[in-house]
Structure 1
Amino acid sequence: MIKKISFLLVLCALSFATYAQNIEYEEYELDNGLHVLLHQDNSTPIVTVGVLYHVGSKNEPEGRTGFAHFFEHLMFEGSANIGRGEYFKIIEGAGGQFNANTSPDRTYYFQTLPSNQLELGIYMESERMISAKIDSTGIATQKEVVKEEKRQGVDNQPYGTLLQNMLKNAYAGTNYEWSPIGSFEDIDAATDQDFVDFYETFYVPNNATLTIAGDIDVEATKKMINDYFAEIKRGTKTIPRPKIIAPQLDGTVEETVFDNIQVPAVVQGYRMPPQGTDDYYALQLVTQLLSGGQSSRFQKVLVDEKRMALGVQVVPLGLEDGGLFINFALPNQGYEVADLSKEMDKLVDQIKNEIVPEREFQKLKNQIENNFISGYGSVQSIAESLANYRVYFGDAGLINTEIERYRKVTREDLMRVAKKYFVPENKVILTYRPKAEQEKPGDTKIKKEGGNN
């Protein structure tokens, strides 16, 4: 049920200069606080109905981690009018697809259907909001589902603990310290009432954005929305909005993780500013510079020329109140992770000390442009993007104008943000090694070092 989102950016062959985007939409709000975004595209007879709840792992109280991700599953259990396990059958029987995903900042549910099934999609999401089954049977069932998912996707997945180890070290003492998968101990210790309270706090219309994109008649769709959602009462509980402030590090934090792997890995993480800030956009271009395709600097130097790495990837994890700029690399046979890490540092330092050539810089902007074009190739992606822009930035219109923020980035900005964020006191290094190298059980070491990076 979990949507796996690839961090690799897809490129296409259109030029930056010819880009023009105009995704039209209508926006309004119901009296109960439900925010609505409608995008009409009658080119194909399909429609996506999505609901984004502004709740992620960041909103969980300590001792109740994993709740947001758990609800991603629990909300498919059924409702007062939909039998247990019937949600899947109903949507699939109508020729539709459905999914959900959870981040530290929000949870998103969607279904894509033939457009003649639009009312069904609206009904199903309203049922989820007004009377989802939050009971002991569903909770027990989903506990086993989530535990198996963690075993398969984290515990037994090579390097699967990367995110949780990186967040633990980079954001210790804050609500970004834990990843969305959370803790089984916290889930097992929770009472049924804890789950009910979480539902009644966060899964309410005044904490939700409904997006519908595709083959619709706008006025008819508005009537359906009113019929199914207007009756849902506004939430009355205070919605926690913790503000994350990155803790001070005394120098580079290093941890060795012994994992079920054959090939060791080095992971460098630098804390980023919140998404939407000027520096965030500059760092997105740095991502392209280091890891944006076969001609990127990491690929050319570490993989192709020096053959030190089997593969290198940069993952910019943008978050509402921060983020992580993550460099991940697998050493080639005959090379140590420490040597590979030093070579990565040299390429990072090059950005600090040498202005990016104009031709290379223009290529980066072209790649960013292409990412935008390919990213809005379906009504499904448009629906989710509209919701994200509205919730994260308060402006759904950024779906058409955000590219201007990238255009404002200069070559000097790349040098500036590299000097500002790629520093020892903002850095975490994880070294993944095979469990066979572990000297004794539980032998993970954390040390802090300053003065080099």
Structure 2
Amino acid sequence: MQQHISSLGGNLQLAEIQFTEYDLSNGLHVILHQDDSLPVVVTSIMYHVGAKDDPKGRSGFAHFFEHLLFEGTVNIPRGEWFKLVTANGGSNNANTSDDRTYYYEVFPANQLELALWMEADRLKHPVINQIGVDTQKEVVKEEKRMRYDNRPYGMLLAEVKKHLFAQHPYQNTTIGEMEHIDASTLEEFQDFNKKYYIPNNAVLVVAGNFEIEQAKSWIDTYFGSIPKGSEIARIPIAEKPITQTIHATYEDNNIQIPMLVLAYRTPSMKNHEARVLDLISAYLSDGKSAKLYKKMVDEKKIALQMGAFNHSQEDYGMYIMYGIPMSGVSLEDLKKEIDAEIFKLQNELISETDFQKLKNKQANHMVDSRASLENIAHDLATFYLLHHEVNLINTEAQHYDTITREDIQQIAQTYLKTEQRLELAYNPKTQN
């Protein structure tokens, strides 16, 4: 067991998040964060399995499994999971990314034992049967229709991923292809559970108002007897560098106005470069005073919307810029204006005033990340599972504090090259 205590330096002073972490004999990693300011407790468990782990020809498996595990357990009948949570004053949810799947409950503090028992029972005794699979197939299909198929610009990220990744499974969407789910068998879902839903592929976080020794006792009681699973072989999949601009088009039946998308493949979220790209995103598009928005929406009035974001992931990231033109303005016109701002970043240091604004925005983001126990629990799990350094919750501000104006210029020069990007014309569907 280790107790981590460290102080923050630099311009940003945040209250330290204290935590205790240890391992059970079956490999489950446990992180406890005590906070008695409110009479609530968050229990969460993150599994190191996401869309990139979907079996070949079975895209959408990890996301589908997130839904499937709410069907019930040996001790919680089908349809009773949510009723049990709400009847005891709680709320819960789950989500899946390319890298991990995350489940959490928020309960009154006196219901911690219930929350731990429920998550342990879901890990040890899930009921994975045909009726659950058939039910969730319809749920996931409806979600895909709402979030992707019938949503304006809903396929933007899917199209970017498809073109930026030739080998890596990041090329697939998290929700997957419905024909893959339809073709899946019950045995395949059961095998997936056996492989990835094991204690040594997970981290359990308890955050809130509780007694540490009591929590440890309950965790040992409910999780300690769950058998350790087989070690998961993870083979790194490397992408060849992009050396020539990728040109692509996509037609969306749900839109009337085209969108320009410029996307770059970037390093892992664990790298210093990813943090610098976060600041570049804020500089270009975070708020109405950001450079791209102010120039193209407010001043020149050539765009209805402008944006840029750094989508950091475990193995690679994606830096995505997009713009929706005003009537009469071409996507080529937008691209020239965007490239002019990128050129400035690459050839001039941003002003000290703008740099300080960026640091202030990042400080505000850090403060916001501490605004709820749910955020803290999620960050503790993420820093352990994907970054392999839990104490980043206390030291990440220092990493951002070391970034210089020269770093911003150098990273823009290295990663935002025209020959290293996807240029996607996201157009309205052509009417026949």
TM superposition score category, shorter chain reference? over 0.9
Contact 1:176–1:244 (8 Å) recurs in 2: no
C-alpha contact 1:170 1:246 (8 A) present in aligned 2: no
C-alpha separation in 1, matches of 2:365 and 2:73: 38
CA distance in 2, matches of 1:367, 1:81: 47
Determine the structure 1 residue equivalent to 2:72. Answer: 78
Aligned with residue 115 of structure 2, among 108, 111, 121: 121
Do the aligned residues in 1 keep the contact of 2:47 with 2:201 (CA within 8 Å)?
yes
The 5-angstrom pairing of residues 378-417 of structure 1 reads 378-417=372-411
Conserved in 1, the CA contact under 8 Å of 2:370 and 2:376?
yes
The question of whether the paired residues in 2 share the 8 Å contact of 1:59 and 1:241 is answered with no
Query: Which deviations, in whole Å up to 9, do the C-alpha atoms of 1:362-421 show, x marking residues without a partner?
Result: 110111111000111111110000000001121111101011111111111111111111
Q: Does the residue aligned with 2:170 lie in a helix, a strand or coil?
A: coil
1:256 aligns with 2:236: no
8 Å CA contact 2:265, 2:318 repeated in 1: yes
Say if 2:369 is the partner of 1:375: yes
CA contact (8 A) 1:175 1:242 kept: no
- Whether the 8 Å contact between 1:98 and 1:112 is mirrored in structure 2 is yes
2:216 corresponds, among 213, 219, 222, to: 222
Listed as ranges, the gaps of 5+ residues in structure 2 are 1-9
Equivalent residue, structure 1, for 2:3: none
**Aligned pairs (5 A) from 1:77-156:** 77-156=71-150
Range with bigger deviation, 415-424 or 333-342: 333-342
State yes or no: 1:361 paired with 2:347.
Answer: no
Alignment of 1:340-359 (within 5 A): 340-359=334-353
CA RMSD of aligned residues (A): 1.3
> Residue 58 of structure 1 is aligned with which of 34, 52, 56?
52
Partners of 2:312 and 2:272 lie apart in 1 by 13
Q: Which residue of 2 aligns with 1:19?
A: 13
Task: Give 1:438 shift.
Answer: 5.0
Number of residue pairs matched by the alignment: 422
Kindly indicate whether the alpha-carbon contact (under 8 Å) linking 2:11 and 2:401 is maintained by their aligned counterparts in 1.
no
- Secondary structure in 1 matching 2:234: coil
Match for residue 295 of structure 2?
A: 301
1:419: which partner in 2? 413
Q: Under a length normalisation based on structure 1, what TM-score does the superposition of the two structures give?
A: 0.91
Residues 237-286 of structure 1, C-alpha deviations (whole Å, 9 max, x = no match): x4242423223435111221111112211111111110121111111111
Report the CA distance shift for 1:235/1:241 in structure 2 as closer, same or farther (over 3 A).
same
TM-score (norm 2): 0.95
Give the counterpart letter for 1:80 in structure 2: V
What does residue 270 of structure 2 align with? 276
SS in 2 for 1:319: coil
* Structure 1 position 101, deviation (Å): 1.0
Contact 2:71 2:127 in 1 (8 A): yes
Cα distance, 1:133 vs. partner?
1.4
Matching residue of 1:246: 239
Q: Name the structure 2 match of 1:9.
A: none
> 2:310, 2:319 within 8 Å by CA — same for their partners in 1?
yes
Question: Secondary structure of the equivalent of 1:179?
Answer: coil
Asked whether the equivalents of residues 244 and 322 of structure 1 are also in contact (C-alpha less than 8 Å), the reply is no
| Aligned: 1:187 with 2:185 | no
CA apart distance, 1:298:
0.8
Deviation at 1:61, TM superposition (A): 2.6
SS in 2 for 1:17: coil
State the distance in 2 between where 1:98 and 1:346 align: 46
Match of 1:10 in 2: none
Match of 1:332 in 2: 326
Matched letter for residue 247 of structure 2: E
Instruction: Supply the AA of the counterpart residue of 2:70.
Output: F
The answer on 1:207 being equivalent to 2:189 is: no
Kept in 2: contact 1:170–1:177 (CA 8 A):
yes
C-alpha separation in 2, matches of 1:243 and 1:365 = 34
Which shifted more, 336-345 or 108-117?
A: 336-345
The 1:380/1:50 distance shift into structure 2, 3 A limit, reads: same
5+ unaligned residues in a row in structure 1: which ranges? 1-15, 440-453
1: CA distance, partners of 2:388 / 2:139: 35
DSSP 3-state at the match of 2:56: coil
